[in-house]
Amino acid sequence: MSASPTSADDSLPARLRGRWLLLARATWILVAALAVGLFIVGIPAEFTLLHVPCPAVTCSTGQLSPSGVHALKGLGLSLDSFAAYTVAMDVIFAAVCVTVALLIFWRKSDDRMGWLVSLALLTFGTATFVFTMEALGTLHPAWETPTSFLHFLGAASFGLFLYLFPDGRFVPRWARWVALIWIGWQVPRYFFPEWYLNPSPYTWHVLVNTAIWLGALGTAIYSQGYRYRRTASSVQRQQIKWVVFGISAALTGFVGISLLLGVFAPEPTSPGALLAYLVGSTFLGYLAILLIPVSIGVAVLRYHLFDIDLIINRTLVYVTLTVILAVLYEGAIVVLQHLFRVLTGQESQVAAVASTLTIAAMFEPLRRRIQDLVDRGFYRRKYDAEKTLEAFSAKLKNETDLEALNDELLGVVTETMHPVHVSLWLRPDTPRNSEQVGL
């Protein structure tokens, strides 16, 4: 496979050395000290702000409205416990991101891509995603500028990561201009929020912002796909799989939880809705987003890279299986309960027992069927190779002609492994070999 022509930035060394390495490490350490320090300083501010009820329309992230505070009392919880729980989740999330960032920096600080990734994860975990620094800037305006800087640095570095991973090059070349426009558009968001947050939803600003955001996301996805097909090596392809899988799974889980909460518990104004919000959005949502730093850490450090195909395969199979069985189980219970009501005039526990036994009997055949569909649809080469080997094994039991067997073996190797050249060499049958075989 031939790679695309090198661009101007391809001539830059992948490794940092000498003064550049010292400067890069010193810059990273300074940013890390600022980010971690402001995050620690912001913990008391976040704890204080979470005690302040606010109108539902103007609530900052994490705060409760007066009705939410009333629902909290209905759960038997206090504002102290709510604030402690929320702050603890932010601390855990930040700790995981910082740990992964430190590990990458420790192992890859002399690598341009490793330096950028560790910086992106560091600022993402301490400033971009969590509420802590926003609370610090809200209660203490003197800290607003450095916290805004870290927010901007996190957004910019993470955007660059999506365009440059895994080899540090813009592929295709024109992607650099899209990344530059997108990063430049982030400046007013963090440094001039009054202009950025225009109250009217139909202004040119909102339309341009939406177009730039969708364009940046689309080109980042296209860039990774183009790199995967045209320029990436086998190891780089596995790295791309890890990152794409982690980000896709995280966003799917987070958005899915948000949609479910939006349908069934749009506002945490009742005890049940608030409990769903605390468990779903705060706990499960954070766990989903943690897939991003974990998958990036695995991809950058190249730890068990080739397990990703098995993970993706099993995820596709068991998620599909779970959804199908859940739908069938609920449907069977509804149908059987309806039949019992028609026949006997009352519901029966037999419906649940019969549905459970039916689902248990269907589990393994349905799993095999879904596995077969996933292999044929997403892992066609592996599926075809397995079928070819099975057919060859069947012929091997009955084949006695050595020449035909040689031709068949060469054909199987060519079809399953797709080598550039195949040859078969058989050791000549000498008297010594015959004696050894006889023994």
The 10 Å Cβ neighbour count of residue 373 is 14
Low-confidence ranges of the chain (pLDDT < 70): 1-14, 55-61, 193-206, 303-312, 316, 347-348, 375-439
Cα separation, 427 vs 434, whole angstroms: 12
**Is there a contact between 389 and 412 (Cβ–Cβ < 8 Å)?**
yes
Summarize pLDDT for 408-436 with one digit per residue, the tens. Answer: 665 655 555 555 566 656 666 555 544 44
Tell me, what's the pLDDT at 383?
A: 46
Summarize pLDDT for 103-153 with one digit per residue, the tens. Answer: 999 988 888 888 999 999 999 999 888 888 888 988 888 998 999 999 999
Tell me, what's the pLDDT at 401?
A: 53
**Is there a contact between 317 and 371 (Cβ–Cβ < 8 Å)?**
yes
Break the chain into its structural domains and give their ranges. Answer: 14-303, 316-378, 382-438
DSSP string covering 69-134: HHHHHHTT--HHHHHHHHHHHHHHHHHHHHHHHHHHHHHHTTBHHHHHHHHHHHHIIIIISSSHHH
Query: pTM for the full model?
Result: 0.71
